[in-house]
Structure 1
Amino acid sequence: MKAITGVAKPMARFIFITGGVVSSLGKGLASAALGSLLQARGYTVRLRKLDPYLNVDPGTMSPFEHGEVFVTDDGAETDLDLGHYERFTGVPARMTDSVSSGRVYSNVLEKERRGDYLGKTIQVVPHVTNEIKEFISIGEDEVDFMLCEIGGTVGDIEGLPFFEAIRQFSHDKPRGECIFMHLTLLPYLAASGELKTKPTQHSVKELQSIGIAPDVLVCRSEQPIPEKEREKIALFCNVRKEAVVAAYDLKSIYEAPLAYHNEGLDQAVLDAFGIAPAPKPKLDRWHDVYDRIHNTDGEVSVAIVGKYTQLEDAYKSIKEALVHGGMHNRVKVNVNWVDAEVFDKGDAAPHLEGYDAILVPGGFGERGTEGKIKAAQFAREHKVPYLGICLGMQMAVIEAARNVAGVADAGSEEFDHEAGKKRFEPVVYHLKEWVQGNAKVQRKADDDKGGTMRLGSYNASLTEGSNVANVYGTTAIDERHRHRYEVDIKYREQLENAGLKFTGMSPDGRLPEIVEWADHPWFIGVQFHPELKSKPFDPHPLFKDFVRAAKENSRLV
């Protein structure tokens, strides 16, 4: 590990990121951007999220409640902010980078039941706060900086144990090893033409009342912050004027590292730690990203046919992966959200004509699936580039079975399970067992929903010479999964005779991972979630080539 102050292999320095005034100010984005800037200065970083909600993890939450679930290589279902962390830093998130109140309390109660506390009365302080502190310190000897984002806003009752824990943690550590970065809002009142600092002052006072004094303030504002207001904030919030950093609205989130650097965020953080002289940043990567965003050779339009289209965050990683593919191909990708239910029982053509490519993402349950099947049929028949992800692959297989391979009543066991009766020939079935590492995993259809899917990274073997092998440039890949149902291998011969080739399989040959139409310009369905591993400076191969195919289909080349 790189030494920060000349001492060999120091423990990590900790940056705790909190928010105030209102939610959705962009703590996750600010944390990710700061992590990337510290990397640009030569430091190693890890980012993690502490969420106050009582769910054990987001895995059982509705996408309308919480947006997408981001899955790690080691099989954790986590907050979507971990996607930001990975996309901006390239550091693969781990199970230990996400924790909720539900997980913390569950661990504490398990220890109490086992007798680990030796009969003591279990309390929030010290037992819950100690559990949080133990989580924060995991892997602290591996990196130079550990960035910990606290979900919610200061003053939320469910967040109090986390704020108390990070207060204690900063006192447990030697002076100068922990700092606090607080995000607030500076509202602009058009009637008076003023930025109002009072909400920020009150938010900081709330933070100070629980024993935490911010070292850096990041102020979200629609207008430039005048010097007078910056001095006022510094005076009343007890921070240096240079540590009052403006966060303005941006056209692209990938402008954030350069924007925050220009505002002095990384320098303010290093100053708060007393690190001088600070290493100069190397920002070539982000200048290239900025150039690719703002200098394009045209546009392509992609229809995302899903069931959670009212909330874009439900498909956050997919949307960003398309942006990355567009950057690689020097085109702007216009994403259009198409509700699959709109043409569940009607014609898909009026809703899908004119798009350069079609993407059908994952999802759970039967609602909207007939529309997704029709989207796959439209793409197949009209030779439109198609990418099916997870459920999107399964719908493409069902479409092929019904309309080409002669299995008229093809469907999924998932839908029969929902309805409580058999209605379909289960081309897609509930996976009862599989191999994870060196162990066999077994599941029942009525198991608890949380954490019982095939989760995390699995290997796949690709067919030499297939379209997908050419896209990846290899025949051995590993990708992240999140699903309970699989395409039944017993239909492989029938489907392949009809033209749908199984070009990616699990290493043991039992689980279909990728299908593609042999006679289609670009039609690929994957059981995994490639979007989770895409980054602006390293786009995923499937999204790079999918956007290339869309560009070719639009006749831009």
Structure 2
Amino acid sequence: MTRYIFITGGVVSSLGKGLASAALGALLQARGYKVRLCKLDPYLNVDPGTMSPYEHGECFVTDDGAETDLDLGHYERFTGRPCTKGDNITTGRIYLDIITKERRGDYLGATIQVIPHVTNTIKDFVLSTDGEFDFVLVEIGGTVGDIEGLPFFEAIRQLSQQLDRDQSVFVHLTLLPYIPSAGELKTKPTQHSVAELRSIGIQPDVLLCRTDRPIPKEERRKLGLFCNVRESAVVEARDARSIYDVPLAYHEKGLDTEVLAAFGIKDAPKPDVARWLEISERIANPEGEVNVAIVGKYTGLKDAYKSIIEALTHGGIANKIKVNLKWIDSELLETEKPADHLGDVDAILVPGGFGERGAEGKIVAAQFARERKIPYLGICFGMQMAVVEAARNLAGVKDASSSEFGPTPEPVVGLLTEWLQGNELQKRNIGDDLGGTMRLGAYRAQLVAGSKVAEIYGTTDISERHRHRYEVNMAYRQRLEDKGMVFSGLSPDGLLPEIVELKEHPWFIGVQFHPELKSRPFDPHPLFKSFIEAAVEQSRLV
């Protein structure tokens, strides 16, 4: 029998429902249970693929090509289970599907309403894997009281009535603010949040209370009394040193125990948290540190690069090293001396992005790394700009550019119009809709034997996740390779460049895919592990 855990949020947004869901899933998994985590997003976008990173943060991509909420990245990193397009749904997707069916006549002339048509679609999504897992954790985006979230709350309320009594549990994440002038934590915001939940028919079983200090016994008693939960089910969720300490902290405070108790499970296996203890120990006691520059265009919102941040952390864990991040707006490098910003770093990473703004700054960063022999990792757009830089300054293609920025006589990077997905030919053109039309999801690549990347991966056959519209133009390959830029990874048909590297450089690699999406704290991605190792070597040289 599959049991369902619904995680809701109250008081304010950005409390960390995704992280709490992932940590709880990891704890249940550590007890030997099979878990699935999924996310219900109330916004009207079909998916976050066309949303600005400043609006939504990172767009996480799954193996099957879904553009999803960044919380799915937490789910994967904490449980190791790859998410799919069936693990994230939005209001926009629900309405698009319903309206498509209505236009086809699938509803046989019925009046289409929020109840039952929208709520039924939500319930079908949640129950789509019923019987396949021991626990399904369902995170509801937004905050209780948001008007756009009402259909989702109604759907999970209905589900709790349809399922057996011991088959669903509600966990409510809330905030206990500390008021310095009063010298105490305040419980009233949580009481109001729970009252809002109860007004729509949902009674939380467990309160997960975000706080920056211990919850006094009296406040815990008051929360239990006024929110109608057991006092022991008021779980303290204090700020942690690292997100990878959260599973251990939640277990110590009894979150997983209380959730299992709410299901009436008394004989659950004890959790094996050995790997989380090891990770926590490595983070707490590094043997050194390195400074890595991230040269991007969305540096004002760190969540835009969430998976990159975590993958660098994983590389540090693998090398027992603390990774300090230096955030550099790429536009600064277009008007200021690069040495003023990059002269004190041990490695440079240029992440993905879209559009011309800040592109020249990324090219400057690639040139600085190439000329100063500083380890460089270019991801997606970062690879493309490294190739443009090499074309201009090594191969003599002075007008080298990308057609993404407009017409150019030297399109070293151009629009991807055709590619193979399995045995099926995919076609795109410049006039297509933006949403869902990129090269998305997992694709295989063949690495050149004896190359740097083949050594790093330990194989010549890899599969990585993609999200891009433009490709490096293979017509320039020979001129670039003549100057030392090796095309060391290609699509299986040999038509699309996947990886480039520089021969006469200690560590300079550009990849068209997004390796950060497959990195895990207990299984760091080989490229990030090697990149941080190279940064350590660089730090010893200066």
Query: Is TM > 0.5 for Structure 1 vs Structure 2?
Result: yes
Match of 2:87 in 1: 97
Q: Does 1:344 pair with 2:329?
A: no
* Alpha-carbon separation, structure 2, partners of 1:336 and 1:271: 45
Match of 1:462 in 2: 447
Specify the code of the residue in structure 1 equivalent to 2:307.
S
Could you tell me whether the CA contact under 8 Å between 1:412 and 1:424 is conserved in 2? no
* Alpha-carbon separation, structure 2, partners of 1:368 and 1:355: 20
Match of 1:405 in 2: 395
Match of 1:227 in 2: 217
Q: Does 1:473 pair with 2:463?
A: no
Match of 2:512 among 524, 527, 544: 527
Question: How many Å apart are 1:345 and its aligned residue?
Answer: 4.0
* Alpha-carbon separation, structure 1, partners of 2:195 and 2:409: 61
Deviations 1:130-159 (A, max 9, x none): 011111111122211000000000010000
Match of 2:177 among 187, 193, 209: 187
Q: Does 1:389 pair with 2:379?
A: yes
* Alpha-carbon separation, structure 2, partners of 1:171 and 1:461: 52
Q: The residue matched to 2:190 in structure 1 has which SS?
A: helix
Could you tell me whether the CA contact under 8 Å between 1:345 and 1:370 is conserved in 2? no
Could you tell me whether the CA contact under 8 Å between 2:370 and 2:508 is conserved in 1? yes
Q: The residue matched to 1:555 in structure 2 has which SS?
A: helix
Could you tell me whether the CA contact under 8 Å between 2:403 and 2:415 is conserved in 1? yes
Q: Does 1:503 pair with 2:488?
A: yes
Q: Does 1:447 pair with 2:432?
A: yes
Structure 2 unaligned regions, length at least 5? none
* Alpha-carbon separation, structure 2, partners of 1:376 and 1:536: 28
Specify the code of the residue in structure 1 equivalent to 2:498.
E
* Alpha-carbon separation, structure 2, partners of 1:494 and 1:439: 31
Question: How many Å apart are 1:191 and its aligned residue?
Answer: 1.0
Identity of aligned residues (%): 69
Calculate the aligned-residue CA RMSD, in Å.
1.0
Deviations 1:88-130 (A, max 9, x none): 0101010000000000111111111111111011110000000
Could you tell me whether the CA contact under 8 Å between 1:298 and 1:556 is conserved in 2? no
Match of 2:309 among 284, 297, 319: 319
Q: The residue matched to 1:141 in structure 2 has which SS?
A: coil
Q: Does 1:373 pair with 2:373?
A: no
Q: Does 1:47 pair with 2:37?
A: yes
Match of 2:189 among 199, 211, 219: 199
Match of 1:3 in 2: none
Deviations 1:287-310 (A, max 9, x none): 001011011111100000010011
Deviations 1:48-93 (A, max 9, x none): 1000000100000000011010000000000000001101010101
Match of 1:270 in 2: 260
* Alpha-carbon separation, structure 1, partners of 2:335 and 2:119: 53
Q: The residue matched to 1:554 in structure 2 has which SS?
A: helix
Match of 1:282 in 2: 272
Could you tell me whether the CA contact under 8 Å between 1:431 and 1:486 is conserved in 2? yes
* Alpha-carbon separation, structure 1, partners of 2:50 and 2:387: 26
Q: If the length of structure 2 is used for normalisation, what is the TM-score?
A: 0.99
Match of 2:416 in 1: 431
Q: Does 1:328 pair with 2:313?
A: no
Q: Does 1:117 pair with 2:102?
A: no
Specify the code of the residue in structure 2 equivalent to 1:495.
L
Specify the code of the residue in structure 1 equivalent to 2:435.
G
* Alpha-carbon separation, structure 2, partners of 1:139 and 1:463: 40
Match of 1:359 among 349, 364, 374: 349
1:233-272 residue pairs with structure 2 within 5 A? 233-272=223-262
Q: Does 1:536 pair with 2:513?
A: no
Deviations 1:348-374 (A, max 9, x none): 222211100000000000000001001
Q: If the length of structure 1 is used for normalisation, what is the TM-score?
A: 0.96
Question: How many Å apart are 1:424 and its aligned residue?
Answer: 4.3
Q: The residue matched to 2:332 in structure 1 has which SS?
A: helix
Deviations 1:334-359 (A, max 9, x none): 00110100122443222211100000
Q: The residue matched to 2:540 in structure 1 has which SS?
A: coil
* Alpha-carbon separation, structure 1, partners of 2:325 and 2:134: 38
Could you tell me whether the CA contact under 8 Å between 1:434 and 1:442 is conserved in 2? yes
Question: How many Å apart are 1:556 and its aligned residue?
Answer: 8.2
Match of 1:493 among 447, 456, 478: 478
Could you tell me whether the CA contact under 8 Å between 2:44 and 2:92 is conserved in 1? yes
* Alpha-carbon separation, structure 2, partners of 1:61 and 1:555: 41
Question: How many Å apart are 1:175 and its aligned residue?
Answer: 1.4
Match of 2:21 among 28, 31, 47: 31
Runs of 4+ in 1 over 6 A off after TM superposition: none
1:413-428 residue pairs with structure 2 within 5 A? 413-416=403-406, 422-428=407-413
Q: The residue matched to 1:381 in structure 2 has which SS?
A: helix
Specify the code of the residue in structure 2 equivalent to 1:278.
A
Q: Does 1:86 pair with 2:76?
A: yes
Deviations 1:436-468 (A, max 9, x none): 122111000121010000000000000111000
Match of 1:4 in 2: none
* Alpha-carbon separation, structure 1, partners of 2:423 and 2:6: 38
* Alpha-carbon separation, structure 2, partners of 1:449 and 1:347: 36
Specify the code of the residue in structure 2 equivalent to 1:89.
T
Could you tell me whether the CA contact under 8 Å between 2:295 and 2:349 is conserved in 1? yes
Structure 1 unaligned regions, length at least 5? 1-9, 417-421
Q: Which moved more, 1:133-142 or 1:453-462?
A: 133-142
1:48-67 residue pairs with structure 2 within 5 A? 48-67=38-57
Q: The residue matched to 2:396 in structure 1 has which SS?
A: coil
Could you tell me whether the CA contact under 8 Å between 1:487 and 1:512 is conserved in 2? yes
Could you tell me whether the CA contact under 8 Å between 2:402 and 2:408 is conserved in 1? no
Match of 1:296 in 2: 286
Could you tell me whether the CA contact under 8 Å between 2:333 and 2:365 is conserved in 1? no
* Alpha-carbon separation, structure 1, partners of 2:409 and 2:150: 50
Match of 1:552 among 532, 537, 542: 537
Could you tell me whether the CA contact under 8 Å between 1:361 and 1:390 is conserved in 2? yes
* Alpha-carbon separation, structure 2, partners of 1:62 and 1:17: 26
Q: The residue matched to 2:191 in structure 1 has which SS?
A: helix
* Alpha-carbon separation, structure 2, partners of 1:124 and 1:543: 46
Could you tell me whether the CA contact under 8 Å between 2:350 and 2:378 is conserved in 1? yes
